[in-house]
Chain A
Amino acid sequence: MESPAAFFRKAVLIFRRRRFYSDLDEELAFHREQVEQEFRQQGMDPEGAHYAARRCVGNETFFKEQSHDIIGFTFEGLVQDVRYGWRQLRKNPGFVATVVVILALGIGAITAIFSVLNPILFKPLPYPRANRIMMIWERQSDGSRLFDCFATFLGLQQHTRSFDALVAMKPWQPTMVGAGRPERFEGQQVSANYFRALGMSPVLGRDFQAADDRHKGPAVVVLSDGLWRRRFGSDRAIVGQQLTLDGDAYTVIGVMPGGFENVLAPAAELWAPLQYDPSLPPRSREWGHHLRMVGRLRAGVSQKQAGAELDVIQRAWGQTYARGYNESGGVPAGTLLYPLQSDLTREVKPALLAVSGAVGLVLLIACVNVTNLLLARGVQRGGEFAMRAALGASRKRLTRQLLTESLLLAIIGGVLGILIAELGVRALVVLSPPGLPRVNAITVDGAVFGFALAITALIGLAVGLIPALQSNRGGSLELALHRGGRVIAGSSQVMRRTLVISEVALALVLLVSAGLVLRSLQRVLAVDPGFDGSHLLTMQVQESGHYYDSDAHRLQFFKNALAAVRMVPGVVSADFTSQLPMSGDYDVYGMQFENDRTAQEGGLRYAVTPGYPATMRIPLRRGRRLNQGDTTGAPTAVLVNESFARRKFGDHDPIGTRVRIGPDAGQGEKPWATIVGVVGDVRQESLAVGAEDAFYVSTAQWPWADDVLSLVVRTRGDAATLLPAIRDAIWSVDKDQPIVRVATMESLLDISEAQRRFTLIVLEAFALVGLVLAATGIYGVLSGSVSERTREIGIRTALGASSRDILAMILGQGMRLTAFGVMIGLFGALLASQALVALLFGISRLDAVTYFSVTLLLLAVAGIACWLPAARAARVDPAITLRAG
């Protein structure tokens, strides 16, 4: 340690550096003169004495460097290193640009991907002790999960001791009618404890109380912060005021805080109490499986214990209420319990994991590439470092210099990486499949960024040290100077080749993954949905207001709306359906057969206007379609789909079979309906999910009239352009009825494959980056090798090798490396494809076509990367190279 006095003298010296060094020079000159004189006195000739003295009291630079170490401060060295490093880097803009771009891509990509993954998969949900919140489903006898019915919720809620709060919820889309167009909101109807189960409470007003959530209870509503600001100008006096929703006056009782993130229904902007009937009247909505249930585990109770308890309760409850359950599809076998977070992410997990695996590979390739570049540069700089060492730079100093340069590169790459991550995150959010949870919580994640930067920088640092280590192997100056600008391969070439092989292998894994998903998507999109999706405009039309409490009014409005829409020029045909394929609708009801009364059957229920199958161009296989005669009062006519008919009847003709449908199933006093036709299968959920049992019935003959139907319009030209005219036609019937969820069927078909498409886009991008990096790697190694072998090539040419021979030799060298990489990569892809199985459709993960074609692609690109240096080698003129040696 320095004494304060010494520190002070150093500080003073900063301003007298010039004087200090001129003193030193003069002092050394004096010293040299004295030595020279001494030599002359010993009898040397004057010239000899002069040079002898110079040799003796040599190297002024060395003295200066050494003195600087003594009188200078440590950080001065650092500043100098940075300056020198910067100069070095500026001399090699190509090298710098390459390294920086690779670093930035690697760091940016992994930061972007993990910024998306982090809130979805890893960060706890934004609620206190969020890991205690469970999602609860009914379990069917085959183990699959089912939405809960209110009866189940009531039974569990009354008897469970495992939960602090157990709540049920369902979507709610009330319409607010004002001066302008009717606005439909996204909302939820929830049990009184909903917010308490999540651990949140309103910031204004009050939470729901038990008294709010009773049958025929008060019409009260809690608003989201967003809606409160958007529609009500952040008016603090909103609490206690009334809104008219669906024709009813609702009192605002509270406003949720801005920080409240409602992961169970991200779009929901207002909440009302559920208010179901706890007396569980038969065949009521209380028995319909359409609720979701969430519970907060009591302290000390494990998920397993809670699940066991719920099963016991459910069994006893199911026996007590067997009749009610049997009328709605049977007594559930038990319950299914999942932590809320894993339940929410179940669907998107395969895609996210595939993407994160891919980004890991990209980062690896980036690291390998940077390593490769630094190795090559290290070999080239061996001479520079040997020279500096000879001029008196200490080993410590050289090491520090290299570290400084690597850090400079890492910092520049890192800054660019942040930008790429920002852009990447935005692009990912735009591309993300619908249903991606917590989209709003996605931001660039500093921790991940730091992590990626650290990894890449560490590798850079470690590798960057190689030239310093090499320059310190004694006596290398002579060697370095002797070989001049030429570079000798040695061990680092072996290392570089190994790295290139691994790059090729990693790139191939990415390419195979992208290829498999691409082929799956092609297969899926080639699936026949069972209807003609072109020139088809769809939208949801809702009836709102008490006028539509009567079934007759409901049916009349839809009938009039249809008549108005059919008048619009360009409309070929138009019809309504209770559920629309590819829209997320999923509505199943039971069916009882006269000839097999005990079997519990059921299927997707389509309550449609009679022309629906024709408008959708669903083919008729047997019997007749529905027509205007199938209306109120007439015997109920039912169509079933092909696979339902085949499964139930085999080769027998189902036409004329009598059935009871929906709530009538199992009700002895209800009249029978008749199957009058069989139509083709339709994919309801997505193209990838096979056809399920389904039946069609006229809206007028279904036991009740739905108040929300989807309109499908077959158009002559571009479907989307007719939207304004069609909307006006509906509003000409009643201007207060909201029209939502407008989409062409083509876009719905696209969206239904969004997850696969999202994965594909990301995988394709990464595979491309991997391919380019691998090609760069091959090119770099090969051109380095050609430079080193110039003399050898010259000699070969002089001895008679043709330029074709040389071309073949270098190409062969490069392609051998590639072939090695391909073999390892194919093996890696076999393993990696296991992670993709969930995303594949219609092909095996070992799909030969994919493996073969991406291998060809890789070989072609590698061929180009090899050909460039090979062509250069073939042009080597022996006369020039040999003379230069």
Chain B
Amino acid sequence: MASKPDLMPGTLDLLILKTLARTPLHGYGIALSIKRLSDDVLTVEEGSLYPALQRLLLRGWVKAEWRTTETNRRARYYTLTAAGRKQLEIELSQYEQVIAAIGRVLQHA
């Protein structure tokens, strides 16, 4: 397997939540969206994506329902819940704090 930059720990949940904040998507759609928006830098493996989605479901931050796609296929769509939206804000602000902190360190080091 070619080596690709790893996601920072904990950021997968953030990416998924952010992706779903724009529009409900199925799993493949989420992976595709992250890949495209990151210009192919970030690849989300199925082995991480689905367990992450299951955890988010358990916590009640997303909900899942079966819908039909534009090509008339049944697919499982994930939607952000109110709790999920709140969680996204929390994680975003935490993320920004961390990034800012790292930035400061890198500037002065």
A binding-site residues for B, Cβ under 8 Å? 3, 5-6, 9-10, 23-24, 26-28, 30-31, 33-35, 56-57, 62-63, 66-67, 70-71
Contact = CB atoms under 8 A, between A and B. Distances in A.
Nearest to B46: A57
B60 interface: yes
B10 interface: no
A10 B58 contact: yes
B60 A6 contact: yes
Nearest to B83: A5
A63 B52 CA distance: 12
B18 interface: no
A5 B57 CA distance: 11
Interface in B53-75: 54-55, 57-60, 64, 73-75
Contact of A67 (B54, B59, B73, B75): B54
Contact of B76 (A26, A62, A63, A67): A26
5 contacts: A3-B59, A6-B60, A23-B76, A26-B76, A67-B50
B49 to A, nearest CB: 9
Given A34-B32, A66-B47, A70-B54, 19 more contacts: A5-B59, A6-B60, A9-B57, A9-B58, A23-B64, A27-B27, A27-B75, A27-B76, A30-B75, A30-B76, A31-B27, A34-B28, A35-B28, A63-B46, A63-B47, A66-B51, A70-B51, A70-B55, A71-B54
A30 B74 contact: yes
Interface of B: 26-28, 32, 46-47, 50-51, 54-55, 57-60, 64, 73-76
A30 B66 CA distance: 12
A256 B7 CA distance: 82
A780 to B, nearest CB: 42
Nearest to A24: B50
A62 B46 contact: no
Contacts of B46: 28, 31, 56-57, 63
Contacts of A28: 46, 50
A235 B51 CA distance: 78
Contacts of B51: 66-67, 70
A39 to B, nearest CB: 13
Contacts of B27: 27, 30-31
Chain B CB within 10 Å, residue with most, of A3, A5, A27, A63: A27
State the majority secondary structure of interface residues on A. helix
Contacts of A27: 26-27, 50, 75-76
A5 B60 contact: yes
Contacts of A10: 58
A157 to B, nearest CB: 82
Contacts of A63: 46-47, 50
Contacts of B58: 6, 9-10, 70-71
A28 B26 CA distance: 11
A186 B75 CA distance: 93
Most buried by A among B26, B46, B55, B57: B46
B47 A62 contact: yes
Nearest to B59: A6
Contact of B73 (A5, A30, A70, A71): A30
A63 B50 CA distance: 8
Contacts of A6: 58-60
A31 B55 contact: no
A31 B26 CA distance: 9
Contacts of A3: 59
Contacts of B26: 27, 30
A5 B81 CA distance: 14
B74 A26 contact: yes
Contacts of B74: 26, 30
A35 B27 CA distance: 12
Nearest to A62: B47
A49 to B, nearest CB: 15
A10 B60 CA distance: 11
A56 B28 CA distance: 13
Contacts of A67: 50-51, 54
A30 B28 contact: yes
Nearest to A35: B28
A31 to B, nearest CB: 5
Contacts of B73: 30, 33
B71 to A, nearest CB: 9
Closest 9 CB pairs of A and B: A34-B28, A31-B28, A6-B58, A27-B76, A70-B54, A57-B46, A30-B75, A9-B58, A66-B51
Contacts of B50: 24, 27-28, 63, 67
Contacts of A56: 46
A71 B32 CA distance: 26
A63 B32 CA distance: 20
Contacts of A34: 28, 32
Contacts of A71: 54, 58
A6 B59 CA distance: 5
A5 B58 CA distance: 8
Contacts of A66: 47, 51
A37 to B, nearest CB: 9
Nearest to B57: A9
Contacts of B64: 23
B11 to A, nearest CB: 19
A26 B75 CA distance: 8
A27 to B, nearest CB: 5
A549 to B, nearest CB: 98
A73 to B, nearest CB: 12
A30 to B, nearest CB: 5
* B26, B27, B28, B74: most-surrounded residue (chain A CB, <10 A): B28
A9 B58 CA distance: 6
A30 B57 CA distance: 19
A30 B72 CA distance: 12
A24 B49 CA distance: 12
A319 to B, nearest CB: 94
A33 B71 CA distance: 12
A61 to B, nearest CB: 12
Contacts of B47: 62-63, 66
A9 B60 contact: yes
Nearest to B64: A23
Nearest to B73: A30
Nearest to A23: B76
A3 B55 CA distance: 12
Contacts of B57: 9
A71 B58 CA distance: 8
Nearest to B26: A30
Nearest to A20: B54
Contacts of B32: 34
A16 to B, nearest CB: 12
B65 to A, nearest CB: 11
B37 to A, nearest CB: 17
A31 B58 CA distance: 21
Contacts of B54: 67, 70-71
B14 to A, nearest CB: 18
B9 to A, nearest CB: 17
A739 B76 CA distance: 98
A426 to B, nearest CB: 57
A296 B95 CA distance: 78
A71 B51 CA distance: 10
A338 to B, nearest CB: 71
A27 B65 CA distance: 11
Nearest to B76: A27
B96 to A, nearest CB: 25
Nearest to B49: A31
A35 to B, nearest CB: 7
Contacts of A26: 74, 76
B63 to A, nearest CB: 11
Nearest to A34: B28
Contacts of B55: 70
B13 to A, nearest CB: 13
A340 to B, nearest CB: 68
A374 B33 CA distance: 52
A34 B31 CA distance: 11
A27 B77 CA distance: 10
